[in-house]
Amino acid sequence: MNRVLANAFALCVAALAMGCSPDAATPGKPAVPTPALSAGEEAGKELAASDALAVGATTEGPAGFQTPAQLEEAIGKANPGFTGKISVEMGEGGIAALSISDPAIEDIRPLAGLPLSKLDLHGCHVSDIRALEGMPLVVIDLSNTGISDIRVLKGMPLAMVYLENTRVADISALAGAPLIELYLSQTPVADISPLKGSPLATLNLVDTQVEDLRPLAGGRLQSVWLNNTPVKDCAPLASNPVVSVTLADTKVSDISPFKGHPTLQRLHIAGSEVTDLAPLQWMDGLTRLIFTPGRIKTGLPQARKMRSIRQIGTSFGRPGEPEEMYPPEVFWAMYDAGRFN
């Protein structure tokens, strides 16, 4: 999924307004005195400086880059196959936002020390992100990269994180982050306990191993995707102000936890183990329903009587499948004609 960092700016500002900005540097901190160096140590220092320059760093401030062109040149030196361009946004302290999407990018050491708040590396062949240590990142997209370890992100003021189609299994580094949006689809993540108490509004867990949703209870979720997960119990979601819930191809068999839910508008249960639609009669705000008619044993009369429904169907934008959603009168006419048998 392509991420345009500029489109995320408004949410980032909101996150910062809620207290998500990093702590300011401690004022008046005394400088650590520099010990005298031996001749050998001096030589080692010069060699280290030479190595740093080889990957684009200088001794002139954080990362030493005054212009995007300098940064682009350094990235090219560290990644000989890189022929693309970078997209940057400048801030008061220098380069504040950076976007690169190039499979030739493997080495991101030239980024070390940059005061980045937004970083998009989706599609790069990056597997080591230790160069990001200490950055005040609010938005980061590492989707479709080779990363598996995100410990370096711990303590960052992250509001929007995209890790889709990576090897990341442990998200404990995200505990306590002021997250608003998190995409983990197609990862081996199974434990979401680090998300307990998170202010998340949007969560994508499609094609993960997540089964226990209890860490999400009492949260602020508005949209959640759980397609093709081993989830059985959706009750923890009912204590969130959810607007859209996707339980397609899960082991969920009971939707009664959503009876009387004040905010739920869209419910996707196609391919799930739900056989009873009777609880729908208490979901007065529901406007979209996607389900598998052949699996339903009870509750169809209640579903047909719902006046709030505007769209009803059997599938919604699955890769390789046509979208099948219709106005209620069209859908039920097709149903009566045996279209979904």
Mean of per-residue pLDDT scores for the chain: 85
**Class of residue 85 by CB neighbours under 10 A (exposed 0-12, middle 13-18, buried 19+):** exposed
List, in sequence order, the alpha helices (H) in 173-326.
Answer: 300-304
DSSP 94-134: EEEEEE---TT----GGGTT---SEEE-TT------GGGTT
Q: pLDDT digit string (tens) for 101-119? A: 999 999 999 999 999 999 9
Q: What percent of the chain has pLDDT over 70?
A: 79
DSSP, collapsed to helix, strand or coil, labels residue 250 as coil
* Residue whose token pair is 């980045």: 116
- If you average pLDDT over residues 87-107, what whole number do you get? 94
**Class of residue 9 by CB neighbours under 10 A (exposed 0-12, middle 13-18, buried 19+):** middle
CA dist 42 to 32, 46, 49, 61, Å? 18, 6, 11, 21
What pLDDT does 128 receive? 98
DSSP 271-314: TSS--B-GGGGG-TT--EEE--GGG--B-HHHHHT-SS--EEEE
Question: Residue 19 above 60 pLDDT?
Answer: no
What pLDDT does 184 receive? 99
Q: pLDDT digit string (tens) for 146-194? A: 999 999 999 999 999 999 999 999 999 999 999 999 999 999 999 999 9
Question: Residue 11 above 70 pLDDT?
Answer: no
8 A C-beta contact, residue 150 and residue 128: no
Vertex 193 angle, CA 190 and 194, to 5°: 110
Q: Which amino acid is at 125?
A: H
Q: pLDDT digit string (tens) for 26-66? A: 333 333 333 333 333 333 333 333 333 333 333 333 456 66
Q: Pick the range with the lowest mean pLDDT from 52-66, 252-266, 279-293.
A: 52-66
Query: Sign of torsion, CA 254 259 262 264?
Result: positive
Structure confidence at residue 318 as a pLDDT band (50, 70, 90)? low
What pLDDT does 319 receive? 62
* Residue whose token pair is 């609880």: 279
Separation between Cα atoms, residue 86 and residue 69, nearest integer Å: 9
Question: Residue 23 above 60 pLDDT?
Answer: no
8 A C-beta contact, residue 269 and residue 291: yes
CA dist 253 to 130, 222, 235, 237, 295, Å? 43, 21, 11, 14, 11
Question: Residue 15 above 70 pLDDT?
Answer: no
Question: Residue 143 above 90 pLDDT?
Answer: yes
DSSP, collapsed to helix, strand or coil, labels residue 230 as coil
Long-range contacts of 262-271 (CB under 8 A, 24+ apart): 263/222, 268/244, 268/316, 270/314, 270/315, 270/316
Q: Tell which wins on pLDDT, 6 or 244.
A: 244
Q: Tell which wins on pLDDT, 263 or 66.
A: 263
What pLDDT does 39 receive? 38
